[in-house]
Structure 1
C-alpha cells in the first residue's frame, strides 16, 4: 500500500508544491506562486494542504472562512488531485481534512467551485451531497482575432490607469460598495471593509496598476475595471463596476474596450471573464464585443463529513 501524507503548507518549498498541483489541474492554470503566497498571508484563517503519495505531491487543498465580515457558517474551500491519481480515495482524504478543520472553526458547510467540463469534480461533489448555489458563464475573447479597439469615454468622463494614484482608492471602494451588491447572486456577496476590499481587489500581485482602468468625472471616481494577469498568455476580467447614478451612459462598455486595448498592448492572447447567469446586461455586452461562450463554473455548497445536518435546499 502506497504511503500517503497530508501536510499543511508551512514554507515556500511546500507552497511551490501546492502551486504546481493546482496549476496542473486547474482549467486555466492561473495560480502563480507569488499570488498563492499573497493569498496565504492576506486571507485570515486560510490553511493550505499538500497531499503526497510516496513523497510526490499529487493533491492540494485549502480552506478558509468567508471574508467580508460574513457570519454564514460556511467555509470556502478547494480540492485538486492530479488526473492520473484520481479514483483512489485521495480527494476523499482531502475532503475529510477540510471538514475537520472547518468544523473546528464552527462551520457547517463547505463552498467549492467546479467547472462544467470537470466531470470527475461534479461527480465527487454530487456524491457528497453538494448542491448548486450559483452558476457562471465562462467567456473568452481571442485577442489576435479582434482589431485594436478605439477607446472613447462618454462626454465628461476621462479614463486613467491606477499607476501612481493611491488617492483613487477611496473613490474606487465607493464604486465597489455599489457595484458588487448589485451583481445578481444566489447568496451574499460581501464587500467588507476598505481593508478587506483592498486586500482582495487591489493589492494581489495579479492586479497590477497598469491594467486597472478608472473612470473619472472631474475628481469623482464613477467606475473602474480591473484585469488579472494570469499565465500562458491569459488575462482575466475582474470587477467592472459603475456607480448607480452613472449607469446607462456607456461607461461600462468603454471600460471594457479599454481593457481589451490594454490586454492587447500588454501582449496577452486571450481575455477570459465569468458572468453570473442572471446578469443579462453584462452577458449581452460581452457577446456583442465578440466573446465566445465556454463551459462555465458552478459554485456548490455541501455538508462537512460526518455532519448530521442536511444541506439546506436551494
Structure 2
C-alpha cells in the first residue's frame, strides 16, 4: 500500500450529536430506516446479508484487495470478543439493506473502533453515512467510553473528510 494509514479519533466529551441529527431526520423522511443488527436479530441470515453488503461496499476502498470469504468474515469480524450486534447500524431502504456502519467494542482499551461504514452506490449522496455514524456513536455510550477510533487508506478522501466533519481528528496509536 502506498502511503500510510490515516488514523482518526473522535473525542465524545466535546462531540455535539445535535449538529448531525438532521441527517437522521432526512433518512426518516426519505424512507430510510436506521436500526442495529441487535434490533433486527443477530441471525445467520442477517450475518450473511451483512457480509454481502460489507463486501459490496468494501470494493470501493483503495487497494482493498480480495474480500474475505464468508467463513473468514465470520471468523475475523463476527466470532471475536469485540463484536457486538448493537454496534452494527444498518440502513434499510425500499429494496433492502443499503448501508452499514460497524463499530466494535474495545472498551478494555478505552475506545470503540469504527470498522466500516459503507452505502450502496444507488443510495450515496443522501447523507446516509453521516446518519449511520451519528447513530453508531451511541454505541460508545453503551460501552462506557468517550473515544471512537477509525482508520482509512490515504486515498479514501471522501471517508476521511466525512469523519473530519463529524469532529474526528488525526491521532497516533499502536
**TM (normalized to structure 1)?**
0.48
1:152 maps onto 2:25 in alignment: yes
**How far apart are the structure 1 equivalents of 2:94 and 2:55?**
20
Please report how far the alpha carbon of residue 271 of structure 1 lies from its aligned counterpart in structure 2 after TM superposition: 0.6
Match of 2:56 in 1: 178
- Structure that is richer in strand per residue: 1
Please report how far the alpha carbon of residue 199 of structure 1 lies from its aligned counterpart in structure 2 after TM superposition: 2.1
Please report how far the alpha carbon of residue 134 of structure 1 lies from its aligned counterpart in structure 2 after TM superposition: 4.3
Where 1:144 maps in the other structure, the secondary structure is coil
**How far apart are the structure 1 equivalents of 2:161 and 2:67?**
25
**How far apart are the structure 2 equivalents of 1:218 and 1:205?**
33
Deviations 1:98-134, CA, capped at 9 Å, x for gaps: xxxxxxxxxxxxxxxxxxxxxxxxxxxxxxxxxx644
**How far apart are the structure 1 equivalents of 2:55 and 2:160?**
21
Q: Larger RCO: Structure 1 or Structure 2 (Cα < 8 Å, ≥ 6 residues apart)?
A: 2
Alpha carbons of 1:277 and 1:296: their partners in 2 closer, same or farther (altered >3 Å)?
A: farther
Please report how far the alpha carbon of residue 219 of structure 1 lies from its aligned counterpart in structure 2 after TM superposition: 6.0
1:199 maps onto 2:72 in alignment: no
Report how many aligned residue pairs link the two structures. 164
Match of 2:146 in 1: 269
Aligned residues of 1:148 and 1:261 also touching (Cα < 8 A):
no
**How far apart are the structure 2 equivalents of 1:168 and 1:181?**
20
Please report how far the alpha carbon of residue 157 of structure 1 lies from its aligned counterpart in structure 2 after TM superposition: 0.7
**How far apart are the structure 2 equivalents of 1:183 and 1:258?**
23
Where 1:238 maps in the other structure, the secondary structure is strand
Larger-Rg structure:
1
- Structure that is richer in helix per residue: 2
1:136 maps onto 2:8 in alignment: no
**How far apart are the structure 1 equivalents of 2:52 and 2:90?**
13
Q: In structure 2, list runs of 5 or more residues that go unmatched.
A: none
Aligned residues of 1:180 and 1:189 also touching (Cα < 8 A):
no
